[in-house]
Every structure is written in C-alpha cells, then in structure tokens.
Structure 1
Amino acid sequence: MSAPALRAELPDHAPHILVVDDDRRLRDLLSRFLLEQGFRVTAAASAAEARAKGASLVFDALVLDVMMPGETGFDYARQIRLTSQVPILMLTARSNPNDRVTGLEIGADDYLPKPFEPRELILRLNNILRRSTRGPAGAAAPLDAVRFGPFTFRIERGELARDEEGIRINEREREMLTILALAKGSPIGREVLACGNAANERTLDVQVNRLRRKVEDDPANPRYLQTVRGVGYRLVLD
C-alpha cells in the first residue's frame, strides 16, 4: 500500500518535504514529527513511489533513506541530480565514512546516520533549506552570520571573529557554533550538540569549556555560551 501524503492547515509557503523510507514505522513517525514542526509532508516507501509523486508535486527538500530494496537512495539521488538541485538530506544506518563520501559526491546536501535525534534532523533540514538557492517561497532570508557581544560567527564560512579580528577555531568548535547559531538562542540538547556521536558527548563539556575560553572574558561565569540545566547549552545572541 502506498504511503499517504500528510497535510494539515499549513500556509502554502510552508516547505514541502518528501520523506522516502521503506521502514513504515520510521516513515510515519518522521512524517508526523515534520508536520508538527510546520512542514508540509508527503511520504513514499520506495524510490519508484517517490518518482511518481515527484511527477505531480514540487518539493522543497527530500529526506531520503539509503538502504531500500531495489533502487537505493544513492541510485535515486544520482538520478535526481541529473535534472534537479532540490536539497537532499540522506538518512542511513550505515555509518561507514565511505558511504557518507559517496552520498556527498552524488550531490546530497547533508548526511545523518541512524539512530538520530529528531531535533538535529530539523536543524540540518532547516540549514540546507536556507542554503538552497531556490528556497521555499516566502522563506526567510538565509542566516549568514550571528553576533554575540564583540563576536561574529559567519555560518557559511565557519569563521569566528572578535571585532573583525579572526579567532582560530577547530572543526569541532565550528560544528558546535553552527548548531548553536542556527538555533537562534534556543537551548540545544547535549546529544544534538554532540551530533549523535557518543564519543563527542563524552567529551562535550571539555569541548565547550575550550570554546568558552575563546569567547568569554570569564569562562567560569559565561555570558554568551550558557549552560541550560537539564537540557544542554545555548548561545545568547544580540
């Protein structure tokens, strides 16, 4: 039985997401979660079904599973890129770095391993929608940079500066700042800030403290990179 389109009383300019996954339970859960977050959602159980729906509907982004019987997510993404630059977020239980490289080489915009934290998926999905040159109609302008006190973090470039003087940050610090910046001051859970990586979560406090030493006058009493008890952290923006 084909997966139904899920709709609610949402504005016409709400981004329309196509979810493609052969796991019915995950497909339904993910569709409901996206709907609750304000997206219009259509679901498909296979690449063939997704292709049929794409013939009559226009989507702002795809959330695409890799491991599907028959035509894989890689195969479908490769075919899509022949004619379209629609943003693609790939989901997979395969955590092999080579799989991630393959997906990105094909043209996927982002790659999220299962199991994943739903809030991280929303952050990543919003990020690729902002980066999309076509973007959903009526969407807000891309968030290019955030400011907190004398600091500016340029999201696309991954650059941190204090009063226009560059501050050296490593890849992990850049990743955390990007997630915090895109949250626009909202608290971010520890598991999200760790990007679902258990090793990152074990060392998260150390990583946050190192970043605080670069952006706080008094790291022991942070003004910008604050702890939210029982949740995680947030970046206090201007």
Structure 2
Amino acid sequence: MTLKRCEIERGKDNLSEGAKMYLLHWEYMAGSIVVHALLQDARADFDLHYVDMGAGEHKAPDYLSINPTGRVPALTLPGGSTIGETGAIVTHLCEVFAQAGLSPQPGDTDRSEFLFWLNVMTTMGYPTVARWNHPERYAKSEAAIAEVERKASADLDDFFDIMEEAISGPKSFLKRGFSALDYYLSMLTEWSANRQALFAAHPKIEAVYLYASQRPAYRAAMNRHALPQAAA
C-alpha cells in the first residue's frame, strides 16, 4: 500500500489552480462518513485515500508514519500535517470553515453545548458501536465475547436514550438548527442492527436523521461509504 494510491473526489466549488487540498483517509462504513460530509458541506478541495483495513493497510508503515494510532479516519491538512480522531477532525473543520455554519463558533452561547455533545458522541457512542460490532476485540472465550456483545447492546440503547433527551431542535440536535452533530448522530444510526426499531423508540433521532441524511453532502458521503455489496 502506498499513500500515492488515491481515489479522487474533489470539492466542486473550491478548485482554484494550485490550491492545496485535504486528503481524507477513509474506509467503508467507518467514522470517515462524518468527515467526508463536512468536507463536502464546506466545499473544501479534497482527495480521498482508501485504506483497506481488512487487508491491514491501516497497520502498514507508511500509514502509521502519518497516523501512529493506525485508526481511520485521518485527515491530512493542506500544510502536510495529519490529524486523527473524529472529534478532533470535526472540531478543526468547523473552525477552519466557520463560514459554512457547521457549528457554533467560539463566543457563541451554545458553543460549550456543541463541544460537550460532540465529545459524548465520540467517547460514548462511537466506541460502544465498535464494542458491539466487534466484541471479539474485547474478549477471548466465546462466552466472554457473547457477554461483551450483550453489554454493548444495552449500553448502546442507553446512549441513544440519552441522545433522544438531549435533542433540542425540531429536526436538529441543537436548537439553533443544523450542525455537525446532526451528521455525527446520523452516522451512528447507520451502524444500528435495526434502525426501524431505533427510530420507532426515538422519534427525535429519526427527525434529525431524516433531515441530515437528505442534505447533498451527507448523501455524497454515504454513496461513497456504502459497502460495495450493499450498493450492488
């Protein structure tokens, strides 16, 4: 694997000659969904570099040289440095592209609310989904793996209950209207085993998803991130 092997998907409205681009390192149905959507919404100039985690490319030396954690997503910035972790990337993009209205900005009264719930999603929701999807990473025996999966499923139910109560807008997480939180929460629902049941029990989450998922930027991200067999 070489980082020169890139799939190109450029922002349509920021293609000035010689402009330096972002490079999003992504995998199918991964946390790169939210980053991709934000790059689209910000009309940023960016390329995509597919990281085949099933083939171990996230552990290859050249990828580890830019993201020592070996995690996806990562975002290489126009200056050449790379940041990882969805919370950090989302915060960075929302600040750099403040004009896109992706989040409250420093000084806004709901800035702390945005940061709080973003971190809840990244530290409570995201890892719980990972634990539920891959319980074998957290235990060895079949009985222990099954117990990890059951506990993760219960924890995920609790997480979505918390999200439901926290939503303050009629179709957005924040009362102010759309923000990156809506993309992030929508992404988390993409990994649900039964999204119909999830939405039936959480009508506010469904409203957020229905609004966010119809935005062109989110649709573009999901068109790219959908598993190949699901798209066939």
Q: Indicate the TM-score class for this superposition, using the shorter chain for normalisation.
A: 0.3 to 0.5
TM-score normalised to structure 1 length: 0.35
TM-score normalised to structure 2 length: 0.36
Richer in helix (by share):
2
**Whose Rg is larger?**
1
